[in-house]
Amino acid sequence: MRLKSRKISDDIVLDAMRRIYSSIDEYGVELDWMGYEMDEDENQPVYHHIISEKDGGNDDISNGAVLGRYSRHMLHQLRTLDPELYNAWNEVFAIINRIGAYPSEELWNTVMSLQVQTEQVLKSDSKVLRK
């Protein structure tokens, strides 16, 4: 029963986050908080805990980020491969939450820089970058 109610909770939180932080680029494409395109087929939006549940994090908006499944997979690979980069992403997500709006141009430039670093770290692991 816990899993069913948790799933509903996650869906509600994710929906609220997507409405609050609408990240539509100039071409009308919905981007996740790591700058990658989301869609309802292969790269569906998911909720990422900034502070993991095992470390005491909760399921509310202030502890989350909207990522595509692919982005969340990459981010979780970083936790082991490059913990500093993983933490840098979570710091950006926390800033976006504190702002409570779509990232400024300066913050978006930080996202793009972290995206490049992430792809460089994961480049050698072909199964990570495969969609």
When mean pLDDT is compared across 8-22, 53-67, 77-91, the lowest value belongs to: 8-22
Distance CA 87, CA 76 (A): 11
pLDDT at 100: 78
Query: Looking at residue 131, what is its pLDDT?
Result: 45
The CA–CA distances, whole Å, from 116 to 14, 29, 73, 123 equal 26, 20, 16, 10
Average pLDDT for 56-77: 88
Q: In which region does residue 55 sit, left (phi positive, over 0), alpha (psi from -120 to 50) or beta (all else)?
A: alpha
The larger pLDDT score, comparing residue 50 to residue 125, is at 50
* Confidence label for 5 from pLDDT (cuts 50, 70 and 90): very low
- 81 sits in the region (left: phi over 0; alpha: psi -120 to 50; else beta) called alpha
Average pLDDT on 38-53 reads 84
Across the range 53-64, mean pLDDT stands at: 84
pTM: 0.77
The per-residue pLDDT for 82 is 94
Most confident of 6-20, 89-103, 107-121: 107-121
pLDDT score recorded for residue 86: 97
| 73 pLDDT higher than 60 | yes
